[in-house]
Structure 1
């Protein structure tokens, strides 16, 4: 029971510190355009880094995954909605899985 309690305390600290640290460090408004741009794009970069490797292992076959990713990137480049991009990628993977 003691180890579980210590684990819960450590997990609480690990999740609490990143939330409080920016408030403690950055009390004034951030004026640097470089830092503002960096902080704006960090969530997108992390999301891409977490999901992109799973794209190629989700289908069990590399070729439909590559085709689906290509169509999703193409639709996103032409600024289609998220639903259209997701459905286009899913449909492409479904259809190309019969070919490969």
Structure 2
């Protein structure tokens, strides 16, 4: 197996080249540097990934249901677990009022 790296070598610009690149970028009206306020408001992309955090956190539990119950809810399509949660919430609401 070859020990030669297949990655291209990245050559960093010299200080003079960097100044020329920066000057060219600043002279472009469509590419102005960000203001300190804009920089401060930036958020890392990984903070934006995924589902938004809910105010009502759910607990992860392991539960066993009868096969008929699981098959019924799964047959209702995507979101079956949320619908199952809704049915259980209704049950709790109905039974907590009467006690």
TM-score of the superposition, structure 1-length normalised? 0.30
Q: Which has the higher contact order (CA 8 A, sep 6+)?
A: 1
Greater helix share, structure number: 1
